[in-house]
């Protein structure tokens, strides 16, 4: 895939359009479109990626209007993601620092949540109005006749902002990591693997999360919970990097990593929360540094 993308502007354009359109029906496939934009930015700069993103946006917009007009909002989402991927990839290209990228993303997440809460007088009511029609059209009532949907929607609506920002963060980070992996495959074999093993967001952000989580435990402020949810997703990747780093330092068998990912697939919520917690602690305590020192 990476070789095809870098073969020329036409190939890159075709790849972005194809996988962006496929992403309308299978959202995870759309991440490859984002990753292609990221790869072009990392290797050829923001100018080239912006041209391809603009051309692809026009082409996809026309096709959507002709085939599926109701999906036009998905184009807006794709354009936002492409713009964010270009910005983050440019930052990574210039700084070669995942710390800078992830800390910037964390800061932007907080800013987005703060602006949204400042702009909407009642966040819960806003999202409840958006969610209720979806529930009415769903089969949840038939599958769970005893559930208090009104109460469930109220709870979901209060924290929807955080979950949406968290979902955006996951897509952006995975897309950028795929792009960096492709770049390493073509021009620096093994480079991304080494970068990922050392990934860390930094002590200040880890301490900030500890403060926020403590505040969240003793209060029920939606703004704080939203920031915690968005932040936990970012620290999830540090938790995964911690596993890879310790695995490499201890020179363990590859089977341990396979078992780890199988467990993550089977228990994504439980293990995801645990990994985020370890990521936060690692940003403060530096487990990988401690293991490396013990081996000397």
Q: Evaluate whether residue 133 is within a structural domain.
A: yes
Banded model confidence at residue 247, pLDDT cuts 50, 70, 90: very high
**Are 130 and 242 contained in the same domain?**
yes
In a domain? residue 253: yes
Query: Looking at residue 50, what is its pLDDT?
Result: 94
pLDDT, position 154: 75
As for how many domains the chain has, the answer is 2
Q: Are residues 115 and 73 in the same domain?
A: no
For residues 40-53, one letter each, b for 16 or more C-beta atoms within 10 angstroms of the residue's C-beta and e for the rest, the string is bbbbbebeebbebb
Do 89 and 107 have their domain in common?
no
CA distances from 259 to 119, 241, 253, 255, 271 (A): 45, 15, 11, 6, 13
Does residue 89 form part of some domain? yes
Instruction: Say if residues 231 and 106 touch (Cβ distance below 8 Å).
Output: yes
Quick: pLDDT tens for 78-128.
889 999 999 999 999 999 899 999 999 999 999 999 999 999 888 888 887
144: pLDDT strictly greater than 60: no
Q: Which of 61, 95, 129 is a domain's end point?
A: 95
Domain boundary among 57, 74, 95: 95
**Distances from the Cα of 176 to the Cα of 77, 113, 238, 290, angstroms:** 17, 22, 15, 29
pLDDT the model gives residue 291? 86
Indicate if 50 and 112 belong to the same structural domain: no
Position 7 in a domain: yes
Angle between helices 9-23 and 46-67 (to 10 degrees): 50
Q: Do 159 and 48 share a structural domain?
A: no
Q: How much of the chain exceeds pLDDT 90, in percent? A: 63
Report how far apart, in Å, the C-alpha atoms of 32 and of each of 29, 159, 167, 178 are: 6, 28, 16, 8
> Which residues constitute the domain of residue 36?
1-95
d(CA 41, CA 55): 15
Residue 88 is predicted with a pLDDT of 96
The larger pLDDT score, comparing residue 293 to residue 48, is at: 48
Structural domain contains residue 168: yes
**Considering the chain, what is the average pLDDT of its residues?**
88
What does the pLDDT read at residue 133? Answer: 67
Q: How far, in Å, CA of 174 to CA of 169, rounded?
A: 8
Q: How many residues does the chain have?
A: 296
Q: Are residues 124 and 163 in the same domain?
A: yes
Kindly state whether residue 296 falls inside one of the protein's structural domains.
no
Whether 90 and 149 map to the same domain: the answer is no
Q: Choose the weakest-confidence range: 87-91, 148-152, 196-200, 234-238.
A: 148-152
Q: What is the pLDDT of residue 73?
A: 78
Domain boundary among 57, 79, 95: 95
How many CB atoms are located within 10 Å of the residue 92 CB?
23
Q: What is the pTM of this model?
A: 0.91
295 lies in a domain? no
Cβ contact 86:53 at 8 Å: yes
In a domain, 127, yes or no: yes
Q: What is the mean pLDDT of residues 254-264?
A: 94
pLDDT reported for residue 148:
62
Q: pLDDT tens for residues 31-52?
A: 999 999 999 999 999 999 999 9
37 shares a domain with 18:
yes
Confidence of residue 60 (pLDDT cuts 50, 70, 90): confident
pLDDT exceeds 80 at position 169: yes
**Same domain, residue pair 86 and 7:** yes
| 267 plus 285 within the same structural domain | yes
Shared-domain flag, residues 154 and 220? yes
- Asked if 49 and 177 sit in the same domain, the reply is no
């Amino acid at each position: 895939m990476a070789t095809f993308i870098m073969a020329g502007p036409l190939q890159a354009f075709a790849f972005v359009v194809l996988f962006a359109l496929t992403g309308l029906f299978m959202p995870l496939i759309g991440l490859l479109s984002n990753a292609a934009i990221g790869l072009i930015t990392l290797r050829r700069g923001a100018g080239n990626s912006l041209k391809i993103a603009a051309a692809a946006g026009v082409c996809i917009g026309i096709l959507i209007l002709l085939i599926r007009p109701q999906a036009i909002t998905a184009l807006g989402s794709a354009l936002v993601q492409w713009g964010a991927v270009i910005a983050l990839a440019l930052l990574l290209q210039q700084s070669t620092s995942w710390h800078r990228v992830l800390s910037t993303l964390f800061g932007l997440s907080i800013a987005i949540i703060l602006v949204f809460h400042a702009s909407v007088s009642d966040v819960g009511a806003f999202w409840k109005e958006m969610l209720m029609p979806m529930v009415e059209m769903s089969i949840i009532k038939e599958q769970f006749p005893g559930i208090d949907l009104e109460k469930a929607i109220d709870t979901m609506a209060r924290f929807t902002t955080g979950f949406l920002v968290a979902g955006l963060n996951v897509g952006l980070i995975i897309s950028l990591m795929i792009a960096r992996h492709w770049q390493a495959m073509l021009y620096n074999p093994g480079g991304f693997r080494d970068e990922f093993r050392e990934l860390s967001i930094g002590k200040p952000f880890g301490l900030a999360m500890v403060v926020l989580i403590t505040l969240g435990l003793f209060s029920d402020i939606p703004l704080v919970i939203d920031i915690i949810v968005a932040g936990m997703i970012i620290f999830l990747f540090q938790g995964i990097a911690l596993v890879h780093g310790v695995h490499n330092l201890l020179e363990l068998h590859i089977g341990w990593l396979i078992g780890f990912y199988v467990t993550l697939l089977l228990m994504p919520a439980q293990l995801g929360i645990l990994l985020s917690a370890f990521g936060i602690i690692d940003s403060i305590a530096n487990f990988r540094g401690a293991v490396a020192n013990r081996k000397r």
